Amino acid sequence: MSESRKINVTVWHEYVHEKRNEKVREIYPKGIHGAIADFLSQNPDMNVRTATLEERQHGLTQSVLDSTDVLIWWGHTAHEKVKDDVVQRVYDRVLDGMGLIALHSAHYSKIFKKLMGTTCSLKWREVAEKERIWVVEPGHPIAEGLNEYFEVPNTEMYGERFDIPAPDQLVFISWFEGGEVFRSGCCYNRGKGKVFYFRPGHETFPIYYQSEVQKVITNAVRWAAPTVNSPAIKFGHVQPLEVIPEKQV
């Protein structure tokens, strides 16, 4: 990648909890999208903007998506309110190369389920328990700058069985105080696009202010950025590249 080229990041958030729930608003006064955009913006190699559900076309017009290298997705309570044509547009852009980072409850978003081909169901529990996130693939670029584990002191638990296809690369596994485990950092290739699922990040905990979580998301943006100048693929009917003798079938 040219050193002067920046990664265009769009942080999408349903932005519902913050408006309804004072506790969430106190933790994320600018919304979760605002908190994520704030720390990503400090990277000189990134241009960051946000989009939310209530905007026209949820802020994800063709023009926004065409100029997005990596889309970050946070949704929880309003998955069903995301319009199918917008989901299709995002999907097409991922297959065309745009990176997608699905955070926490985005496991149940329409776009993530559509890309996975499975239910993406899991176990959950909300008792503010401790999570310890272990790096199982320490050479992976998404683990850069971490220790071999980090802890989230209070979180919502997500537990296995997580009904996803086996990840192309599994980077993190979580340990939970209450007795469960979870594949918390999962890389996928879909079409030309890279998809990363990252578990931490509930709306009632200040998880997106934690330095390790910010580091992972920052690393993931760089990992998921599209390959510039990837091969143009021709689908459909093609002529032979070699001479084929005429057949008498």
Q: Which is nearer to its own copies, 63 or 239 (CB)?
A: 239
Cα–Cα distance for residue pair 19/54, rounded to 1 Å: 12
Smallest separation (angstroms) from its own copies to the CB of 137: 7
Q: Which is nearer to its own copies, 59 or 205 (CB)?
A: 205
Cα–Cα distance for residue pair 49/68, rounded to 1 Å: 9
Q: Which is nearer to its own copies, 74 or 91 (CB)?
A: 91
Distances (CA, A) of 86 to 65, 154, 225: 10, 34, 21
Cα–Cα distance for residue pair 221/194, rounded to 1 Å: 10
Cα–Cα distance for residue pair 140/224, rounded to 1 Å: 12
Q: Which is nearer to its own copies, 47 or 169 (CB)?
A: 169
Smallest separation (angstroms) from its own copies to the CB of 79: 15
Smallest separation (angstroms) from its own copies to the CB of 241: 3
Smallest separation (angstroms) from its own copies to the CB of 84: 12
Cα–Cα distance for residue pair 231/68, rounded to 1 Å: 19
Q: Which is nearer to its own copies, 59 or 182 (CB)?
A: 182
Smallest separation (angstroms) from its own copies to the CB of 174: 7
CB 161 within 8 A of CB 147: no
Q: Which is nearer to its own copies, 15 or 205 (CB)?
A: 205
Q: How many CB atoms lie within 10 A of CB 34?
A: 16
Q: How far apart are the first and last CA of the chain?
A: 51
Helix runs in 71-190, H state only: 84-95, 110-116
Smallest separation (angstroms) from its own copies to the CB of 48: 19
